Amino acid sequence: MANIIRRVNGTANDDRLSLSKYLHVLNPQSGPKPRSFQVFTHIPSLRTARRHAMLAGESVGFVPTMGALHKGHLALIRQAVQENTHVYVSIYVNPTQFGVNEDLGSYPQTLPTDLQQLRALTAEYWDNDSVGQITGVFTPKTRDMYPGFKPTSEVDGHGSFVTITPLSSMLEGASRPVFFRGVATVCMKLFNIVQPDRVYFGQKDIQQTYVIQRMVDDFHLNTQVRVVPTVREKDGLAMSSRNEYLGKRRRKVASVLIRALRAVRTEFINGVTGREELLSAAHRVVDEELAKQTALPPTWRSLFEVDYFSLADPMRLTELDTVTPAHGAVLSGAIKMLPVEEAQENEDLGTGDGKITVRLIDNLRLELPSFLRKSNP
C-alpha cells in the first residue's frame, strides 16, 4: 500500500502514456476536440466508445461519483484531463453502499446541474491541445448495474459482492458495515465496464482509497489508482455532497472536525508522538465546542457526536500507540451532526430541513516538515 500514500501528496507523470495523450493532435483524421461529451445510459454503447479509444491507442481516465458535484469532484476531473486523452465520469447513486437506515432516499440527486457543471468544465479545454477531454458521462440504471436481482443493504443479505477484509471492517466500516462492500462492488462493476487506465479518488475518503487499491492489487485489475488532495472550504471543511444537508447553523459548527485534526498535527510537529497525548488534543477541541453549543438555547445550538478519532499506520491503517516521525501516520476522524432541535422562522436548514443526521469524515497525514525530519530519524 506504500504507493497510494505517495499519490496522496501528488500525482506522478507517466511518460510512457504521453504519446496517446496527444494522438488527437498528431492524427489529422481525428479533427478538433468535440465541444461537448456524450451521455451514456446503457453499458453496450459506452463499451463501444471505449473500444474505439483502445484501438486508437488513446488513454482513458475515470472518475466515479454519485453526483451532487462540487469543487472536489471537479478537481479529480481536472487531474484526469491532464493525464489522459479521454475522461469518463460516472454519476450513479449506488444503493448497496447505504445501510438499511441510512440516507439513500434523501441523498441529493442533481443530474441537470451536474451536467451543466461538466459542460462548463469541458469548455475550459476546448482550445487546449496539450490536455485531454471529458468524452463521456455514464448515468446507468440500477437494473443494469445489478441485473440479477434488486440489491440488498442487509449485512447478511444475498447478492454478488466484493468484500475486502479486514480493511472494510475498520474505522468507517465499524460504523457502516455494508459501506465498503457496496463501494468495492460498484467500483469493480464500473472498472469492468469502463476499463480505465487510471481511476481518480479524493483523499478525503482516505480509507476508500486503501480499499480500492487493495482490490486493484488483489484482483490484478489493469488500472492505476490516483489520489488527489482534499479540496476544502475557506474554514477548512472538506467539500462533500453531504454538506448540502447542513444548512447555515450546522455548517458553522461542522468545521470542528478539521480544527480538531489540525490541533493534533500541531502537537505532532511540536514533538508529541504518543497516541493518548496526540488524540487528547482533538478531544479538547471537540469538547470545548460541544460545551459551547450545549449552553445555547435549542433554537441556536448545533449538537454533534464524535464517532471516532484514529491514528493509523500509513501502510496498513492499523492503529498506532506511537508515531515514528520518519514514517508518520494517517490521522482521521468522523463526527455526526445531529438534527436541528428547534428551527427558527425561515431558517436555512439545508436539504432535508435539518432533520437528517449528517456524518462527516476527514483526515490529515501526520508528517514532519522536511527541515525537521533530519533531526528526527
Quick one: how many helices (H) and strands (E) in the chain?
14, 9
What's the pLDDT at 152? Answer: 81
What's the pLDDT at 150? Answer: 75
**Residue tagged 444548512 (cell numbers):** 247
- pLDDT tens per residue across span 209-262: 999 999 999 999 999 999 999 999 999 999 999 999 999 999 999 999 999 999
- Per-residue pLDDT, averaged over 263-288, amounts to 97
Provide the sign of the torsion angle of the four alpha carbons 112, 201, 11, 367, taken in this order: positive
- Per-residue pLDDT, averaged over 323-332, amounts to 95
**Is 24 a known active-site residue?**
no
CA distances from 292 to 68, 247, 303, 333 (A): 32, 19, 10, 21
Those residues with Cβ within 8 angstroms of residue 52's Cβ, 6 or more apart along the chain or in another chain? none
Which residues are registered as beta bridge partners of 226?
A: 200
Displacement of CA 104 from its chain's centroid (Å): 17
Do the strands 86-91 and 133-138 form a parallel or antiparallel pair, or are they unpaired? Answer: parallel
**Torsion angles phi and psi, residue 287, rounded to 5:** -65, -40
75 has pLDDT over 60:
yes
71 has pLDDT over 90:
yes
- Catalytic residue (choose from 24, 73, 220, 283): 73
16 has pLDDT over 80:
no
* Cβ–Cβ < 8 Å for 285, 267: no
Which pTM was predicted? 0.88
CA distances from 179 to 46, 65, 174, 193, 314 (A): 27, 15, 10, 21, 21
Higher pLDDT, 257 or 4: 257
Percentage, residues of the chain above pLDDT 90 = 80
Rounded Cα–Cα distance for residues 167 and 25 (Å)? 43
**Torsion angles phi and psi, residue 40, rounded to 5:** -105, 125
- pLDDT tens per residue across span 26-68: 333 345 666 789 999 999 999 999 999 999 999 999 999 999 9
What's the pLDDT at 370? Answer: 61
Higher pLDDT, 237 or 155: 237
Cell of 66: 454519485
- Per-residue pLDDT, averaged over 90-105, amounts to 91
Angle formed by the axes of helices 71-83 and 111-123, nearest 10°: 40
* Cβ–Cβ < 8 Å for 346, 296: no
Identify the DSSP state of 340: P
Higher pLDDT, 249 or 376: 249
- pLDDT tens per residue across span 191-215: 999 999 999 999 999 999 999 999 9
Those residues with Cβ within 8 angstroms of residue 127's Cβ, 6 or more apart along the chain or in another chain? none
Other beta carbons within 10 angstroms of residue 324's beta carbon come to 12
Helix/strand/coil for 231? coil
**Which candidate, 251, 264, 283, 257, places its Cα nearest to that of 323?**
264
**Which residue blocks in the chain are alpha helix, DSSP H?**
2-8, 18-21, 23-26, 43-55, 71-83, 111-123, 142-145, 172-175, 179-194, 206-218, 247-254, 256-269, 275-294, 370-373
Rounded Cα–Cα distance for residues 195 and 138 (Å)? 13
